[in-house]
Chains A and B, each alone.
Chain A
Amino acid sequence: MKVLVAVKRVIDYNVKVRVRADNSNVDLANVKMSINPFCEIAVEESVRLKESGAATEVVVVSIGPKAVQEQIRSALAAGADRGIWVETDDTELSGLAVARLLAQVVRDEQPGLVLLGKQAIDTDNNQTGQMLAALLDWPQATFASKLEVKGAEVEVTREIDGGLQTLALTLPAVVTADLRLNTPRYIKLPDIMKAKRKPLATTSPAALAVGPGTGVKLLGVTPPTERRGGIKVESVAALVDCLKNQAQVL
């Protein structure tokens, strides 16, 4: 079985983003960019499926400008076999456009399983995997914390608000990764060198016959209202007094 895994290039999770002075967008000039943490987990899971014999090939795909090749290469260094770069000049494709592009790649590649992150930590949409599944008319399991391929099915444990839910999906299927699915491996230098020689194909929205997509216009971006710094209290008694008499929440 072939596994396709979609990765997004995003701001590194350690960076605190700032809003541009003109409120047009966030300022991404010179900030550290990385593979979205949830995508990294999806890549790790695909590689483990290959190592366990459940998968035969892991193909990684990313959509975006030239720089996304870095994230494809890091997925290849983590153990994916080959990459597909969907070249776009526009980093701000609509959510549906991303799903449509991925759907076309899936139709061409015919994987048995598609893994995505549950959420990109920049736009926090938590939607691409679900949209892709809908467009393909495939079953989906979001927020996966455990995944097991069992014959013609994949059994997935999902983290839901009330606890855990386990579903069995008939393959092919779409699964989105949550944080506790696995802990991604540390990538060693020789793997990074090896990844440079792995194949990376390029395609484009035009080649995939998918339009740019519109529908949502960004009118502006503002900083959140900052909390005023509070006070330090000296003792538990003082804390209780403040909460009771000043804040009146006890």
Chain B
Amino acid sequence: MSILVIAEHDHHQLKSATLHTLAAATQIGGDLDVLVAGSGCQAVADAVAAIPGVRTVLLADAPAYAHQLAENIARLVVALAPGHRHILAPATTTGKDFMPRVAALLGVNQVSDITAVVGPDSFRRPIYAGNAIATVQVEDPVIVATVRATAFPAVATTGGSAAITPVPEVFEAVRTRFVSESLVESDRPELTSARIVVSGGRGVGSAENFALLYRLADKLGAAVGATRAAVDAGYVPNDLQVGQTGKVVAPDLYIAVGISGAIQHLAGMKESKVIAAINSDAEAPIFQVADYGLVADLFTALPELIDSI
């Protein structure tokens, strides 16, 4: 049986979350077909074709897919579903948006956010903000699952030569209209794939003070993250939120600055390889998960840290 993976991309470049999803698919085992749906996304299809182990790249290139609207992508995936035992997508906001729609249209359940493949129909996934890990077995004829990228390695990107097959059908919902998008442009590494993340909480105190974190991040080549409290307070935009309801990160080094360590925040970063924390409160729960804790005022510690690396 074969596996259909839906690629995540920005129409020009493949997102790394897809490479991690393909690793999960490889662990399940079977022929791999990858759907690239977008508008003007031939370059993405070419990149996917070069991934070793991919059998076919299905290229659905049409303006209807420019904004990855769930209604359109879901109907496209359902049309391509026959013959596939598994349908996988990264558990990004795009995957989370259209995949449950695919599952419901196919009359099956969805397994959300898998972190391990136990067998072809059994998976592990975190529940209760990662405070428990469920092992589930799917009895549905088709397995629809989203994959937590940080839980799987990335597959290689060169050496393959898959065929690219165009998908002529176009699905266009008439009751959903794209109005606008404001995407945050940044020269820093992407939060979910960065090797180092410097993350700030309410303790940072203001948007202006976040400049300290950006300076540290730029010295380290790191991405910047934040807690919900920091986003709610308007210090940083929403795309930086790490946690149960934000992004999940697992960098080599996570530096938590002025962050208390609420379970909802830990859910998004406790799989980091090394955690360092700077907090003025010696009792802050973040120290219970930090490999290295420094009890200090961030406004004196950060400038010193920036100068010493």
**In the bound complex, how far is the Cα of B188 from the Cα of A116, in angstroms?**
35
Query: 8 Å CB contacts to A: which residues of B214-262?
Result: 220, 228, 231-232, 237-239, 244-245, 247, 252-253
Query: 8 Å CB contacts to A: which residues of B102-117?
Result: 102-105, 107-113
Query: 8 Å CB contacts to B: which residues of A97-126?
Result: 99, 118-119, 121-126
Residues A126 and B112 in contact, CB atoms below 8 Å apart: yes
Given contacts A236-B304, A247-B292, contact A122 B128 (CB under 8 A): yes
**In the bound complex, how far is the Cα of B10 from the Cα of A128, in angstroms?**
27
Residues of B with Cβ closer than 8 Å to A?
10, 67, 69-71, 74, 92-94, 96-105, 107-113, 122, 126-140, 173-184, 192, 196, 220, 228, 231-232, 237-239, 244-245, 247, 252-253, 263-264, 270, 273-276, 278, 282, 287-296, 301, 304-305, 308-309
Interfacial chain B residues near A233, Cβ < 8 Å: 292-294
Q: Which of A50-58, A66-74, A133-141, A194-202 contacts the other chain?
A: A133-141
Interfacial chain A residues near B139, Cβ < 8 Å: 214-217
Residues B184 and A163 in contact, CB atoms below 8 Å apart: yes
Residues B184 and A215 in contact, CB atoms below 8 Å apart: no
Determine how close the nearest CB of chain A comes to the CB of B187; give it in whole angstroms: 15
Residues B70 and A17 in contact, CB atoms below 8 Å apart: no
Interfacial chain A residues near B122, Cβ < 8 Å: 219
**In the bound complex, how far is the Cα of B136 from the Cα of A207, in angstroms?**
30
From A38, A222, A223, A232, B293 is in contact (CB under 8 Å) with A232
Looking at chain B's contact residues, is the secondary structure mostly helix, strand, loop, or mixed? mixed
Residues B132 and A247 in contact, CB atoms below 8 Å apart: no
Looking at chain A's contact residues, is the secondary structure mostly helix, strand, loop, or mixed? mixed
Q: Does A206 contact B (CB under 8 A)?
A: no
Q: Does A47 contact B (CB under 8 A)?
A: no
Determine how close the nearest CB of chain B comes to the CB of A212; give it in whole angstroms: 13
From A38, A127, A250, B309 is in contact (CB under 8 Å) with A250
- Chain A residues within 8 Å of chain B by Cβ, number: 84
Determine how close the nearest CB of chain B comes to the CB of A54; give it in whole angstroms: 18
Given contacts A125-B112, A134-B104, A230-B292, contact A247 B274 (CB under 8 A): yes
**In the bound complex, how far is the Cα of B113 from the Cα of A16, in angstroms?**
20
Interfacial chain A residues near B273, Cβ < 8 Å: 249
Interfacial chain B residues near A166, Cβ < 8 Å: 178-181
Residues B293 and A215 in contact, CB atoms below 8 Å apart: no
From B107, B173, B228, B238, A163 is in contact (CB under 8 Å) with B238
Residues B245 and A223 in contact, CB atoms below 8 Å apart: no
